[in-house]
């Protein structure tokens, strides 16, 4: 036990963050190209960055702001939610990214001992948010191996029969790490099941703009639904830490409880980040879509590079920035495969175990420009080809 005896079990028993493990793996290994972290290669809109340069000495930038977020940003977000997401009955709280938004919700909606639902492969940080807040009764449903859509029949059974009835159901749409998009009728069914069972439905829309092949993103609204959003990927603002929660106006008492959590974690999201977010909104969705369109080529290059695994084993990529691939049967230790790919072939991907999918890998097609993606794809192809034909030869 050592010094662990003096640490909170909540923390000790929470999974280690895979991105930190990846950073350790890559440290000192300069020649590794990363298809690992969920990032985009672009920076925020130029005009927005230039405006921020002008305001850094304004005194308000260095003061605390309203816990809920800057009024002018919240107003712009309500308008965006109405226009783009058709959410007309929601209020907004600005957070330090969608991850903090999720922690706020878990602390506001769940008690230790409550049961909650996720679907594998799941977003690792959501899983950890439950664990570290003592919500360890995490029921993990399966996804259809072909479509990667959640098993809604299982959910129906769990919401009817589990003791206790789950308090919250969490989905990411489109998904991380699956890259799968839940069709509207399916999410509507999930929503109805949650409503009837008295459970919350939390939908993480971080990748709302990352849609391909003519598919259109949508949101659902209801008194039991909370939607999360992020500026990180859409506007290339990962390091500025801005996201937001759209929660139902009429959910009794929710705002007051959310405020308590908000006031104790960030107090408010970074003011300069919020100002950049406000200016970025002026660039609008077309600015984002132009960049997202370019990712289609990256996706194609990487899908092609993964063909040694067999076409039927490479899934996802309908939305978000991820492909999800099954490794050959003899490669159940996906972390070893990831280590080997990095050390021998100079390319990094994420092990599926981190998302409840042992024997899989997640490949991101958002973080590199096309020319670099091409190089990384060649490395990946060589690595996977060798893996399939010879195994992990050193
Ligand atoms: C599904 C999902 N939610 C939230 C986040 C974190 O977003 P933010 O940077 O806004 O905290 C990520 C980042 O990878 C994500 O994939």
Residue among 210, 232, 223 nearest 89 (CA): 223
- Do 72 and 180 sit in the same domain of this protein? yes
pLDDT at residue 1 greater than cutoff 60: no
Residue among 168, 193, 203 nearest 87 (CA): 203
Q: Does residue 204 line the site of ligand 1, with CB under 6 A? A: yes
- Do 159 and 130 sit in the same domain of this protein? yes
Q: Which of 252, 284, 316 is the last residue of a domain?
A: 284
- Do 237 and 102 sit in the same domain of this protein? yes
- Do 117 and 192 sit in the same domain of this protein? yes
Q: Does residue 38 line the site of ligand 1, with CB under 6 A? A: yes
Bond preceding residue 174 cis, omega within 30 of 0: yes
Can you tell me which atom of ligand 1 is nearest the CA of 100? 11
- Do 240 and 354 sit in the same domain of this protein? no
Residue 306 lies in a domain: yes
Residue 394 lies in a domain: no
Q: Does residue 364 line the site of ligand 1, with CB under 6 A? A: no
- What spacing in Å lies between the alpha carbon of 371 and ligand 1's midpoint? 25
pLDDT tens-digit readout, 28-80: 787 999 999 999 999 999 999 999 999 999 999 999 999 999 999 999 999 99
- Do 298 and 250 sit in the same domain of this protein? no
The pLDDT of 202-219, averaged and rounded, is 97
Closest C-alpha residue for ligand 1 atom 7: 98
Q: Which of 284, 303, 325 is the last residue of a domain?
A: 284
- Do 241 and 292 sit in the same domain of this protein? no
Can you tell me which atom of ligand 1 is nearest the CA of 233? 9
Question: What string of DSSP letters covers 237-256?
Answer: -GGG--EEEEEETTSTTHHH
DSSP 150: B
Can you tell me which atom of ligand 1 is nearest the CA of 39? 14
Domain region containing 252: 58-284
Residue 53 lies in a domain: no
The Cα–Cα gap between 270 and 61 comes to 9
pLDDT tens-digit readout, 108-123: 999 999 999 999 999 9
Report the CATH number at residue 23: 3.90.1150.10
Q: Does residue 99 line the site of ligand 1, with CB under 6 A? A: yes
pLDDT tens-digit readout, 242-293: 999 999 999 989 999 999 999 999 999 999 999 999 999 999 999 999 999 9
Q: Does residue 94 line the site of ligand 1, with CB under 6 A? A: no
Task: Please give the pLDDT value at position 149.
Answer: 98
Closest C-alpha residue for ligand 1 atom 2: 206
CB 343 within 8 A of CB 110: no
Domain count, the chain: 2
Cβ neighbours of residue 160 under 8 Å, at least 6 residues apart? 197
Q: Which of 255, 284, 313 is the last residue of a domain?
A: 284
Report the CATH number at residue 210: 3.40.640.10
The Cα–Cα gap between 349 and 251 comes to 40
- What spacing in Å lies between the alpha carbon of 125 and ligand 1's midpoint? 8
**In the block, which residue shows the tokens 């459970």?**
199
Residue 94 lies in a domain: yes
- Do 247 and 295 sit in the same domain of this protein? no
């Amino acid at each position: 036990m050592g010094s662990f005896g003096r640490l909170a079990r909540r923390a000790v028993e929470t999974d280690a963050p895979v991105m930190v493990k990846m950073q350790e793996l890559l440290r000192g290994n300069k020649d590794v190209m990363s298809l690992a972290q969920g990032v985009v290669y672009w920076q925020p809109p130029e005009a927005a960055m230039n405006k921020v340069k002008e305001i850094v000495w304004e005194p308000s930038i260095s003061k605390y702001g309203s816990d809920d977020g800057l009024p002018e940003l919240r107003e712009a977000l309500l308008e965006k939610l109405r226009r783009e997401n058709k959410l007309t009955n929601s209020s907004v709280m600005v957070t330090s990214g969608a991850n903090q938004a999720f922690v706020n919700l878990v602390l506001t909606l769940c008690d230790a001992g409550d049961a909650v639902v996720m679907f594998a492969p799941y977003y690792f940080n959501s899983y950890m948010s439950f664990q570290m807040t003592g919500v360890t009764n995490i029921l993990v449903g399966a996804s259809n191996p072909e479509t990667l859509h959640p098993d809604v029949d299982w959910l129906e059974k769990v919401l009817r029969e589990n003791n206790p009835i789950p308090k919250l159901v969490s989905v990411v749409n489109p998904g991380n790490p699956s890259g799968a998009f839940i069709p509207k009728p399916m999410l509507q069914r999930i929503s109805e099941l949650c409503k009837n069972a008295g459970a919350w439905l939390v939908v993480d829309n971080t990748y709302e703009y990352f849609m391909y092949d003519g598919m259109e993103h949508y949101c659902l609204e209801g008194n039991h639904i909370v939607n999360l959003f992020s500026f990180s990927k859409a506007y290339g603002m990962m390091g500025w830490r801005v996201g937001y929660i759209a929660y139902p106006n009429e959910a009794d008492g929710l705002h007051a409880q959310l405020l308590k959590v908000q006031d104790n974690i960030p107090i408010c999201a970074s003011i300069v980040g919020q100002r950049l977010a406000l200016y970025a909104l002026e660039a609008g969705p077309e600015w984002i879509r132009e960049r997202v369109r370019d990712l289609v080529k990256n996706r194609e290059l990487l899908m092609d590079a993964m063909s040694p695994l067999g076409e039927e084993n490479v899934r996802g990529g309908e939305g978000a920035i991820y492909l999800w691939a099954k490794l050959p049967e003899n490669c159940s230790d996906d972390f070893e495969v990831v280590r080997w790919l990095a050390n021998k072939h100079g390319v990094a991907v994420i092990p599926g175990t981190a998302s409840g999918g042992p024997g899989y890998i997640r490949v991101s097609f958002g973080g590199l420009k096309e020319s670099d993606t091409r190089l990384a794809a060649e490395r990946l192809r060589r690595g996977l080809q060798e893996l399939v034909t010879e195994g992990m030869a050193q």
